[in-house]
Amino acid sequence: MEGHIYYLILFVLLIFGTLLISIYIHLLKIYRFKFLKFLTIHIILNYLIILLQVLRTYILFNVNQIFFRFIQISLLISTLLIIGMIYTYGRFAFSMYEEKISSFKKNLIYALVVVVSLVSIIGVSLFFSNRNVRIVSASEYVYFLAIIFISTFLVFDQRISSKITDRKVIKAFGLFYSILCIPFILHLRFPLPQSLYIYVGSQFILIIFPLFWFNKYYLKNHTLGISYFQDKAALNRIYDEKNITKREQEIIELILQGKSNREIEKEIFISIYTVKNHIQNIYSKLGVRSRTKLIQLILDYQQKNSL
């Protein structure tokens, strides 16, 4: 029975994990924010570690004779992935700063990478010699303590942005990401298979949370998110070339602010059917079929204008 459960977990991981990763990559192609690049890499590495953890547990219960041989290989891979996750999370955090960060902060991140690397390598080495799994767990504690430490910059550093609203947006990410690390730390206190369920659940929440934060909070509240598409030169070029009316221009700019059809209806006091008709006319004139394609078209015009 347990074997079937692990098959099911692996299947769900592969389906939903692949879907989530594709969403991150899709967002990166659309928005091209520097911090989003590091966040996407961080999430991909995290997903790979989840798969390794599930495979380790499955082999322990179902193919016990090759468990220690497999775990030796998987622990080496996990060590490299953890080092990459610390580095990319640090780069993500510092990409959120408006201005160039000090060399002191950069060195702190490098120091954390070194510490996590040493603890992970020592843990793996000792495991090879006496097969003590608790020693390996120490590296996981250190990793998440490092994540929480980096998050404190996002939560408390006033110099991350001169704008209070922007600091609140960034603070929300650091605070909730730190809180979501707690279930992961707790899973180390439980025996298998309960530990695996807590681990997979908490890690998937960690993967999903940045998507909600970016789409529902960052793009609607952070200055860069709101104004990213407010390049008037690019927009005016599109308006002139495609004969976009004043009302259609207004709707386009509301779409770029993340407004839904219902929100547009309330914003400019027209019926939902009129909003839909205007949007269909916009799509027809611009040769697109969705809001995503509309955003991509405007980004392309932005890039052409900046050349």
Question: pLDDT per residue over 75-130, tens digit each?
Answer: 778 788 888 888 899 899 988 887 777 777 778 777 877 877 777 777 667 666 66
- The Cβ of residue 149 has, within 10 Å, a number of other Cβ atoms equal to 15
**Contacting residues for 89 by C-beta, under 8 A, at least 6 apart:** 38, 42, 147, 150
pLDDT at 1 (0 to 100): 44
Cα dist. 92→39, 44, 111, 192 in Å?
6, 14, 16, 33
Where is pLDDT greater, at 55 or 7?
55
The CATH T-level fold of domain 229-306 is Rossmann fold (3.40.50)
Instruction: Look up the pTM and report it.
Output: 0.71
Instruction: List the one residue out of 17, 13, 143 whose CA is nearest residue 89.
Output: 143
Decide: helix, strand or coil at residue 277: helix
Return the pLDDT at 247: 92
Q: Identify the weakest region by mean pLDDT among 29-33, 247-251, 283-287.
A: 29-33
CA torsion, ordered 226, 232, 238, 240, to nearest 10 deg: 140
Could you report how far apart the first and last alpha carbons of the chain are, in Å?
A: 61
Q: How confident is the model at residue 213 (pLDDT cuts 50, 70, 90)?
A: very high
Q: Give the pair of three-digit tokens for residue 259.
A: 């407004």
* Per-residue pLDDT reduced to its tens digit, 26-85: 888 777 788 999 999 999 998 888 788 777 766 766 666 555 666 677 777 878 888 888
Rounded mean pLDDT, 248-272: 85
Instruction: Read off the pLDDT of each residue in 251-258 and give the average, rounded to a whole number.
Output: 80
84: Cβ contacts below 8 Å, ≥ 6 apart: 41, 45
In angstroms, the CA 149 to CA 123 distance is: 21
User: Helix 246-256 to helix 232-242 angle, to the nearest 10 degrees?
Assistant: 140
Segment 235-244 shows an average pLDDT of 85
> Per-residue pLDDT for 141 more than 60?
yes
Domain ranges of the chain: 2-226, 229-306
pLDDT at residue 171 in the model? 94
Q: Residue 135: its pLDDT value, please?
A: 58
